[in-house]
């Protein structure tokens, strides 16, 4: 392991612990009654959750359930209508800039720049995140190695496969060793083989950096494979949370998380979503395909 | 590996570290665009066509007419700075489209979720417009030289011309970003871009002196930043050329407007994704 991983960067401030109730361990993510309203539509409806450091947490729900909106609020891209949220103890509204320094985010849409090489994409991210100049090369190498992209580093991203693009985006999001990584539908549009490869990479990444991961997914199998805990969102409300095993047990005789999901929300996960969601998902899938 | 290595925040000690980080962020955005141009420089070649047409066709024909009182300058000499400013304007004014495109792709989200300050992101875009503008300047200088236009090539003057192009291109690219933040879709932007470029160009001193304009147009030309850019260029680029308002005044106006639009754009940039 490169020695730069042990460098003495300032850890995330714990100054704000006092603002939180029962704060023996600062949760990686904490929300209280987080709500987002778009006109008449309640996209996120009073969500309160705690995610422990180093946990891999999955948000499940149909299109339009509010998963992406919740992630956008926590990554400071959208202000909440009401309620509060903290990331590593930092309040998302008042300390937005510090929150952004502590997190990595892979949006649902493709964010890698196809007109640049993989290396150039990573270099841009390293500069934006203030990775010191002499650490840039080792950090980029580390990210390329972890995501198995070393051979393609100097190829234009336009020529990458879907799985490679997704891995590059994750490499970009982890360059600065974020305490929390947000992955919005990390495997949407990938074929089953690429999906399983991605799961292996994410496990390895989590082990290596001990990052907290918050991911959204449509795929029950993905949640079972990766997540320590999951929450089910339905029309903006959190209807259940617990370990995948808990949820399955709670739904009674249900044999799978899929059935637990149907029992808890009364709907299939494929249902829901509006025109915009469909357009976006298809566009992402097409670019990855 | 311990979890204490989380959250890359370089030890920020004092203002100089903050400034250096700001510069790095500006450069991160601009360098990405410069590398794209390096991968695919065709754009720079095709952009040479427009100034060639304006100088070679429009300029040569209008020079025969001798319709405009251009003082001691031949019409082509008078026109060259105007064509340079115009070609840099046309490169910059469609920057908003690129920003909307980046938003649709998800690249903008990636920038906005980074700890980079919003004004650094906007300035980075402005700087990359400036780099494209500089390539236009090189093309127009070459064209003008080939056409026998009497250029002033003293290093001091050329340097100030380049500074003017950087600021002017940055200014119009930032205006374009502001429009993109308001209209949010490519279709609407295309309409507005067309409506905007022509008045900016014609209500300026780029291809004729302000003196020949009717009074109401003169007022518009006076509040048009392009006029100040052209005025300064005319004083610097051409042997025997002079600026009517003074290069210092022109520069001050451009810098002031630039700072203003960057501040506005930095405030509006995050709205683009909502």
Dump pLDDT digits (tens) for B224-258: 999 999 999 999 999 999 999 999 999 999 999 99
Chain B hits for A155, CB-CB cut-off 8 Å, are none
With a cut of 70, say whether residue B6 has pLDDT above it. no
Q: Which residue has the higher pLDDT, A288 or A191?
A: A191
Q: What is the pLDDT of residue A189?
A: 84
* CB pair distance less than 8 Å for A210 and B21: no
- Which ipTM was obtained for this model? 0.87
A81-85, B87-91, B104-108, B167-171: the lowest-pLDDT one: B104-108
Chain A hits for B11, CB-CB cut-off 8 Å, are 9-10
- SS (HEC) of chain B: CCHHHCCCCCCCCHHHHHHHHHHHHHHHHHHHHHHHHHHCCHHHHHCCHHHHHHHHHHHHHHHHHCCCCCCCCCHHHHHHHHHHHHHHHHHHCCHHHHHHHHHHHCHHHHHHCCCCCHHHHHHHHHHHHHHHHHHHHHHHHHHHHHCCCCECCCHHHHHHHHHHHHHHHHHHHHHHHHHHHHHCCHHHHHHHHHHHHHHHHHCCCCCCCHHHCCHHHHHHHHCCHHHHHHHHHHHHHECCCCCCCCHHHHHHHHHHHHHHHHHHHHHHHHHHHC
Dump pLDDT digits (tens) for A22-38: 557 899 999 999 999 99
Of A6, A12, A100, the CB nearest to B2: A6
Q: What is the pLDDT of residue A5?
A: 36
d(CA B193, CA B191): 6
Q: What is the pLDDT of residue B273?
A: 83
* CB pair distance less than 8 Å for A9 and B9: yes
d(CA B120, CA B262): 9
Residue of chain B nearest A156, judged by CA positions: B39
Residue of chain A nearest B274, judged by CA positions: A78
Chain B hits for A1, CB-CB cut-off 8 Å, are 1
Residue of chain A nearest B112, judged by CA positions: A77
d(CA A203, CA B251): 56
Chain B hits for A210, CB-CB cut-off 8 Å, are 1-3
Of A1, A10, A77, the CB nearest to B9: A10
Residue labelled with tokens 């089910």: A232
Shortest alpha-carbon distance between residue B170 and chain A (Å): 20
Shortest alpha-carbon distance between residue B91 and chain A (Å): 19
Of A1, A128, A177, the CB nearest to B7: A177
State the pTM of this model: 0.85
Residue of chain B nearest A131, judged by CA positions: B8
What percentage of chain A carries pLDDT values higher than 90? 65
Shortest alpha-carbon distance between residue A117 and chain B (Å): 9
- Distance from chain centroid for Cα B270: 22
Chain B hits for A127, CB-CB cut-off 8 Å, are 24-25, 27-28, 31
């Amino acid at each position: 392991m490169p020695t730069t991983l042990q460098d003495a960067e300032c850890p995330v401030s714990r100054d704000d612990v006092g603002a939180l109730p029962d704060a023996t361990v600062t949760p990686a993510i904490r929300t209280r009654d987080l709500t987002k309203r778009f006109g008449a539509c309640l996209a996120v409806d009073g969500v309160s959750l705690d995610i422990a450091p180093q946990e891999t947490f999955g948000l499940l729900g149909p299109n339009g359930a509010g998963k992406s909106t919740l992630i956008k609020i926590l990554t400071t891209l959208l202000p909440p209508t009401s309620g509060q949220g903290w990331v590593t103890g930092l309040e998302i509204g008042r300390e937005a800039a510090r929150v952004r320094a502590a997190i990595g985010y892979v949006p649902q849409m493709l964010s890698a720049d196809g007109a640049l090489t993989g290396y150039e994409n990573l270099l841009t991210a390293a500069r934006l995140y203030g990775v010191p100049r002499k650490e840039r090369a080792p950090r980029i190498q580390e990210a390329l190695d972890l995501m198995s992209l070393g051979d393609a580093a100097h190829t234009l991203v336009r020529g990458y496969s879907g799985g490679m693009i997704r891995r590059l985006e994750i490499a970009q999001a982890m360059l600065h060793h974020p305490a929390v990584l947000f992955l919005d539908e990390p495997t949407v549009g990938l074929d089953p083989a690429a999906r399983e490869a991605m799961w292996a990479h994410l496990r390895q990444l989590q082990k290596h950096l001990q990052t907290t991961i918050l991911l959204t997914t449509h795929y029950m199998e993905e949640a079972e494979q990766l997540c320590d805990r999951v929450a089910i969102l339905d029309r903006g409300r959190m209807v259940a949370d617990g370990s995948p095993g808990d949820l399955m047990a709670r739904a009674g005789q249900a044999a799978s998380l899929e059935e637990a999901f149907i029992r808890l929300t009364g709907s299939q996960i494929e249902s829901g979503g509006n025109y915009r969601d469909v357009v976006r998902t298809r566009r992402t899938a097409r670019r990855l395909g | 590996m311990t979890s204490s290595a989380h959250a890359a925040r370089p030890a920020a000690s004092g203002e100089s570290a903050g400034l250096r980080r700001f510069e790095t962020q500006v450069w991160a955005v601009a360098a990405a665009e410069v590398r794209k141009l390096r991968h695919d420089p065709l754009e720079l070649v095709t952009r040479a066509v427009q100034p060639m047409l304006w100088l070679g066709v429009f300029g040569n024909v209008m020079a025969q007419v001798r319709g405009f009182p251009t003082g001691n300058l031949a019409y082509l000499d008078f026109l060259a700075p105007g064509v340079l400013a115009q070609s840099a304007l046309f490169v910059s004014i469609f920057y908003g489209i690129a920003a909307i495109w980046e938003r649709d792709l998800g690249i903008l989200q990636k920038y906005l979720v980074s700890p980079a300050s919003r004004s650094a992101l906007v300035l980075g875009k402005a700087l990359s417009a400036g780099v494209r503008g500089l390539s236009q300047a090189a093309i127009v200088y070459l064209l003008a030289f080939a056409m026998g236009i009497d250029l002033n090539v003293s290093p001091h003057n050329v340097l100030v011309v380049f500074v003017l192009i950087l600021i002017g291109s940055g200014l119009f690219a930032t205006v374009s970003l502001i429009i993109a933040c308001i209209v949010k879709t490519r279709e609407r932007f295309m309409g507005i871009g067309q409506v905007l470029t022509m008045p900016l160009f014609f209500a300026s001193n780029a291809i004729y002196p302000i003196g020949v304009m009717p009074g109401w147009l003169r007022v518009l030309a006076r509040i048009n930043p392009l006029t100040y850019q052209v005025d300064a260029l005319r004083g610097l680029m051409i042997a025997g050329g002079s600026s009517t308002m003074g290069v210092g005044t022109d520069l001050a106006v451009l810098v002031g407007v630039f700072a203003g639009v960057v501040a506005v754009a930095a405030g509006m940039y995050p709205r683009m994704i909502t």
